[in-house]
Structure 1
Amino acid sequence: MAASEQAAPFIDSFAPSTEEQWRKKVEAALKGAPAQKLVTKTYDGFDIQPLYARAANRPRAFRASGDWAVTARVDHPDAAAANELALTDLENGATGLQVVFAGAVGAYGFGLKDAAALAPALKDIQLDAGLRIVLDLPVHSGLHVAALLDLVAARGYDPKTLDISFGLDPIGAAAATAAPLNWAEEGPKLAELAKILIAKGFDKGLIAADGRVVHAAGGSPAQELAFALASGVAALRTLEAAGLSLDAARKLIDFRLAADADEFITLAKFRALRRLWASVERACGLEAKPVRVHGETAWRMMTRRDPWVNLLRATVAVFSAGLGGADSISVLPFTQALGLPDVFARRIARNTQLVLLEESSLGKVADPAAGSGGVEALTDSLVERGYALFQDIEKAGGLAKALESGAFQSEVAKTADERAKNVARRKEPLTGASEFPDIHEKPVTVLLPAPAAPAVNAKANPKTLSPHRVAEAFEALRDQADAASARPKIFLANLGPVAAFTARATFAKNFFEAGGVEALGNDGFADAVALVAGFKASGAKLAVLCSSDAVYAEQGIEAAKSLAAAGAHLFVAGRPGEQEAQWRDAGAQDFVFVGSDILAQLRDALKAA
């Protein structure tokens, strides 16, 4: 019997489900709460629905066929060491290199020291062997480009055989550092350099429209797309003004985006970029063609605490960027925020991509999300919002003028502030940092410790799109707790039976240990007398009362009074509701619950400890 004949009766035994049936199930599960509760709003202001119908056909813009390039970072400050690490990556599956120089947008504290380091860093690496080379250059990059041209000439390469993304991006580099940028002067210089490279035989991938700087500064997906699109259009204009045809000019531009752990938004963002740029090409009277897009796993999402979770974040990011159409991807090794990654961390970064490509065959299908109602809707929304923001930039006179005025940076800062508030209240949880922290984690090995991040005063220099990681505030509290002569501790004042206090005790443990305050657990206490005895025996200065609402109603106020009288700086797990005044009169200092400002409360706890 054929497989289809065997399957048919099984399939026919299930009636097709309908949206109405789904909504009835939702209503029952929500127990009277509105279905709107399941709708979430993005930082770009559009809604994400819980259910989407299958999408109709949409405009599509494909990447070139084949697997994306597995791109390893070349960022060791010592050129010889960088070369050794790069050769190891190439010998073990990498198909490209991201050559990062100090001061570049993607340097994150490291990078080759100067242009002279390029040749030794690429020693014994055959650039014409099908490798994808992505350069990450600092603001002033003339010497770096000259060094590459010297290397190509010395080795006798035919530029037509090389796949190099030069990454010339004076606008993005200036935005990241607040370096002065006179685009009226720098634009023609960029075009002149491009013409020199064209004369040398390089006719593609010279200029990068790089959105990573916006993402690292806390911007939204649509802001990142608008920045990249405006950067590409600025390059088109300056190249056309220098005498290049629009068809020749567009071949010189490729794109770079950050990929983070928001799976569907990242996937939709990469798809949206291709559609947006295709619309620009058509507006120029050109037939849309595949554009090169490089993805890098996001610096913003990396954590120093429990860095192993970064492996999961990077895997989701690569998956999303790859399915979204990235032509090459670079993975920040999981220890990148702690320092210069070692061979092991680099191997895991490399294999994150290789497993997805070789074992899951993710590169074999073009645009696999096409037709998915949810992904298509997200893509449509990002295209619409990204283009509207791009139009705002154009109305301001183009990207350079928008940055000069500080208007664009101001909007990015608003988004970053909103995200920071959500992180502080754990509406945007960070596993290992704000959620499920491990205060006894074992250290990991790095080749060099991360340099101290430069102090950036956003108010003093609001035009800077300075990179930051969303976990930094929690990490600062952990550092403070670790530096104390004795680790701060909080006594879990568990009142009543285990079933009554377990949920809030577990919540309180995660809450306080996110700030490095060790939670001292126990099996619970039957009354206030035993509770106070347990607190005194613990030696802690802090206590958090944990139990159910029912137990609180019977014994909570008395227990709070007893603990406060015993000298405890007392928190109560749960919302105080109408009894807040009574709780505070009894000695409760504060209340910890889902949605409270955990950062502010942890700072208070560390002061009191």
Structure 2
Amino acid sequence: MNSASISDLPFMEAFPRPDQAQWRAAVDKVLKGADFEKRLVARTADGIRIEPLYAAVSPQARPSRSQAGRWHVSTRVDHPSPAEARDLALADLEGGADSLVLSFAGARAARGYGLVADDVAALDAALDGVMLDLISLRIDPAAGGRINALLLAALVERRGIDPATTTIDFGLDPVGILASRGAFAASWPEIGRRLVETIAALKARGFAGPFLTADARPYHEAGATEAQELGAAMATAVAYLRALEAGGMPLDQARDAMSFILVADTDEFMTIAKFRAARLLWQRVQQACGLEPKPMVLNAETAWRSLTRRDPWVNLLRATVATFSAGIGGADSLTVLPFTAALGLPDGFARRVARNTQLVLLEEANLWRVADPAAGAGGFEALTQALCEQAWTKLQDLEREASGDQPGIVAALANGHVQQGLARQRDVRAKAIATRREPITGTSEFPNLAEAPVRVLEIAPVKRTGSSPSSTRAADQNQAALIDKLAEGATRADATTAPEQDGLKVAPLPSARLAEAFEALRDKADMLTQERGTRPTVFLATLGPVSDFTARAGFARNLFEAGGLSTPGHDGFPGNGGTDMAALVAAYQASGARLACLCGSDPGYAAEAVAASEALRAQGATVWLAGKPGELEHALNQAGVAAFIFAGADVVATLEQAQAIAAA
């Protein structure tokens, strides 16, 4: 506690003020010789050290939101039908949203759906009743992004709205499309030239932008750490600054044309630190360019990779943590993915819950009323600074990959540098997920085999006819004239041509959710259940009284049910101070299971595990044991125990084996 807070609480003067040494002495006493570093010091995926205790620090002046006040509550326009998209969008706006994200078909963020609007009339129908000059609009980056931007500009002109009164982020992000789709429609210098031309045409009509966005979502979905995500975003922004400057645009105008999209994840501390670090990094980039820094336009979206298809109600908790973190971290706008998004196109109920997650934190918790609530908190300040340092190193690493006319981030995608770094991180994360060092509630931990299905809209993913959006480019014609043609009724097909031969191709970044390995196990178990008429079962062979086996039986049940295997409960088989083996064997025979797992205490294993295994093996059971065997391993193996399940083991591999045995 600092001196200022002591003066506010004079009664605290009656108590001695402990120092760090006294605290450490008390901690060492509790640890009783255990390693302080292993027990109380954690590290992030980037290796940043997280201490158990931080001293308060003096708040530093930091860049804040581009506009003071509330962040924008955004919702996605992603239904393929313009009429249905309009109804959902109007319901969101009437329910408290003040920003729409146009996610056209072909956008990665549309997840196979997306608004199908190939001309201004269709886009007009999708936004019918929406007052474009009273809300903010953002276009999700997509292949063919220039046509999407020009269609929206043409709609504004067609409605007779003064572009200067609109707030539109046009979402042009060719680098992000290269990362997610694996192709450029032309060479990088030509891409830069067209960006300058498009921005000039839009500005000439009176649009203020932003026009370009550095979208970090493709990297996050491919497994990026916080520093990797920030480094990629900054490297993308630097590439755009250089391209626009090379095209004759003053650097300050190029800077003003930029916005960013970062992901709000379920790690509260690191998400807050990441958003705070992003503003500091962008300030440093501007200073390095010789510019007087301005606040960045920072949009946020909750994490796709953290969503689960199993027990999707838990996604509500994940979204709440992410929303809180993005709000505290200083996002200018936030899109909360509905809790059913991983299962299909969300319905009105899921969308309402998503926007209300923000509204509760805005209206009831008043999170927006403090510019930087984390300021002065030693932990947040230390994490923010460390993340800035790590991300700057990542930025420099990407910049060193520059080759010929390709900027660092483009060259790093072309030579596989980005893909290799993210693949290494995915492998590390996959191992943590598989061993449940990083648990997923409702999926790898505390699964619910009796979960009821949730509702999504009954609509198939969009199948575009003709050329794929990734294989087309905006026609090489005057962009101002193209806006006029689109406003007069020209279609997307009229405005696109085939890509050039010198367009760059790279290995696209994968998009994966963390829960997919466990979800695949559950899907397989459900398929077996449908084929057999009963769910594959594991018999929990409990030893001794309830007090002896409860802990390990609970562990085993949690583990097996994460793979969709049923583990019927019972009160055990006590008898004669131990276990009634005859009753245990009879219960196993009645269960119909092929796999039996011994569950008990260490003394119980020493006394009865060998006999129990032999009895179950005699009935044809494959026998496993919950816990590490220790000195009993040889004797247990001799008695037929085939495997041991314990904390820290590869649960995915274990469940694959269990399913094979249970389904045999």
Contact 1:410 1:462 in 2 (8 A): no
Q: Assess, with a 3 A threshold, how the Cα gap between structure 1 residues 270 and 115 changes in structure 2: closer, same or farther.
A: farther
Q: Provide the rounded CA distance (Å) in 1 between the counterparts of 2:516 and 2:163.
A: 43
Q: Secondary structure of the equivalent of 2:96?
A: coil
2:34 is equivalent to residue 33 of structure 1? yes
1:61 alignment partner, one of 60, 63, 66: 63
Q: Provide the rounded CA distance (Å) in 2 between the counterparts of 1:254 and 1:481.
A: 45
- Report deviation, 1:15: 3.7
Q: Assess, with a 3 A threshold, how the Cα gap between structure 1 residues 462 and 564 changes in structure 2: closer, same or farther.
A: farther
Q: Assess, with a 3 A threshold, how the Cα gap between structure 1 residues 180 and 562 changes in structure 2: closer, same or farther.
A: farther
**AA matched with 2:387:** L
2:385 is equivalent to residue 385 of structure 1? no
Map of 1:605 onto structure 2: 658
Map of 1:46 onto structure 2: 48
Contact 1:337 1:450 in 2 (8 A): no
Map of 2:471 onto structure 1: none
Q: Provide the rounded CA distance (Å) in 1 between the counterparts of 2:91 and 2:355.
A: 11
Contact 1:137 1:144 in 2 (8 A): no
Map of 2:101 onto structure 1: 98
CA deviations on 1:443-480 (whole Å, 9 max, x unpaired) are: 11111367599xxxxxxx98221211000111111011
2:603 is equivalent to residue 550 of structure 1? yes
Contact 2:192 2:247 in 1 (8 A): no
- Report deviation, 1:301: 0.1
Q: Provide the rounded CA distance (Å) in 2 between the counterparts of 1:329 and 1:157.
A: 26
- Report deviation, 1:14: 4.3
Q: Secondary structure of the equivalent of 2:564?
A: coil
Map of 1:400 onto structure 2: 410
Q: Secondary structure of the equivalent of 1:532?
A: helix
Map of 2:545 onto structure 1: 497
The count of residues paired between Structure 1 and Structure 2 equals: 597
**AA matched with 2:656:** R
Contact 2:139 2:149 in 1 (8 A): no
Q: Secondary structure of the equivalent of 2:263?
A: strand
Q: Secondary structure of the equivalent of 2:345?
A: strand
**AA matched with 1:289:** K
Map of 2:162 onto structure 1: 158
2:457 is equivalent to residue 447 of structure 1? yes
2:468 is equivalent to residue 464 of structure 1? no
* Structure 2 residues without counterparts, runs of 5 or longer: 403-407, 464-504
CA deviations on 1:494-541 (whole Å, 9 max, x unpaired) are: 110111111111111110000100111111123233322221122211
Q: Secondary structure of the equivalent of 1:137?
A: coil
2:402 is equivalent to residue 410 of structure 1? no
1:335-374 matches, cutoff 5 A:
335-374=340-379
Q: Secondary structure of the equivalent of 1:186?
A: helix
Contact 1:177 1:466 in 2 (8 A): no
Contact 2:139 2:169 in 1 (8 A): yes
2:519 alignment partner, one of 475, 494, 517: 475
Map of 2:82 onto structure 1: 79
- Report deviation, 1:590: 1.3
Q: Assess, with a 3 A threshold, how the Cα gap between structure 1 residues 204 and 600 changes in structure 2: closer, same or farther.
A: same
Map of 1:456 onto structure 2: none
Q: Provide the rounded CA distance (Å) in 2 between the counterparts of 1:581 and 1:450.
A: 55
Q: Provide the rounded CA distance (Å) in 1 between the counterparts of 2:264 and 2:61.
A: 22
2:443 alignment partner, one of 426, 433, 458: 433
> Which has the higher Rg, Structure 1 or Structure 2?
2
- Report deviation, 1:22: 2.9
Contact 1:103 1:137 in 2 (8 A): no
Q: Provide the rounded CA distance (Å) in 1 between the counterparts of 2:590 and 2:636.
A: 24
CA deviations on 1:319-348 (whole Å, 9 max, x unpaired) are: 001111100000000000011111111110
- Report deviation, 1:194: 1.4
Map of 1:568 onto structure 2: 621
CA deviations on 1:300-323 (whole Å, 9 max, x unpaired) are: 000000000000000000100111
Q: Provide the rounded CA distance (Å) in 2 between the counterparts of 1:8 and 1:370.
A: 21
Q: Secondary structure of the equivalent of 1:519?
A: coil
CA deviations on 1:529-562 (whole Å, 9 max, x unpaired) are: 3322221122211111111111111111221222
**Greater mean deviation of Cα atoms: 516-525 or 430-439:** 516-525
Map of 1:457 onto structure 2: none
CA deviations on 1:262-321 (whole Å, 9 max, x unpaired) are: 001000001111000000111111111111100000000000000000000000001001
2:189 is equivalent to residue 184 of structure 1? yes
Map of 2:480 onto structure 1: none
Map of 2:485 onto structure 1: none
Map of 2:20 onto structure 1: 19
CA deviations on 1:144-200 (whole Å, 9 max, x unpaired) are: 122111101011111221111111001101211112463232122222211111112
**AA matched with 1:50:** P
The share of aligned pairs that are identical, in percent, is 52
Map of 1:540 onto structure 2: 593
- Report deviation, 1:27: 2.4
Map of 1:458 onto structure 2: none
Map of 1:422 onto structure 2: 432
Q: Secondary structure of the equivalent of 2:301?
A: strand
**Greater mean deviation of Cα atoms: 24-33 or 435-444:** 24-33
Q: Provide the rounded CA distance (Å) in 2 between the counterparts of 1:223 and 1:58.
A: 25
- Report deviation, 1:114: 3.7
Q: Assess, with a 3 A threshold, how the Cα gap between structure 1 residues 28 and 211 changes in structure 2: closer, same or farther.
A: same
Q: Secondary structure of the equivalent of 1:71?
A: strand
Q: Assess, with a 3 A threshold, how the Cα gap between structure 1 residues 590 and 462 changes in structure 2: closer, same or farther.
A: farther
Q: Provide the rounded CA distance (Å) in 1 between the counterparts of 2:414 and 2:43.
A: 31
Q: Provide the rounded CA distance (Å) in 1 between the counterparts of 2:367 and 2:333.
A: 13
Q: Secondary structure of the equivalent of 2:458?
A: strand
CA deviations on 1:380-422 (whole Å, 9 max, x unpaired) are: 1111011101001111111111111110111011111110110
- TM-score (normalised: structure 1): 0.95
Contact 1:541 1:569 in 2 (8 A): yes
Contact 1:165 1:205 in 2 (8 A): yes
* Structure 1 residues without counterparts, runs of 5 or longer: 454-460
1:508 alignment partner, one of 556, 560, 571: 556
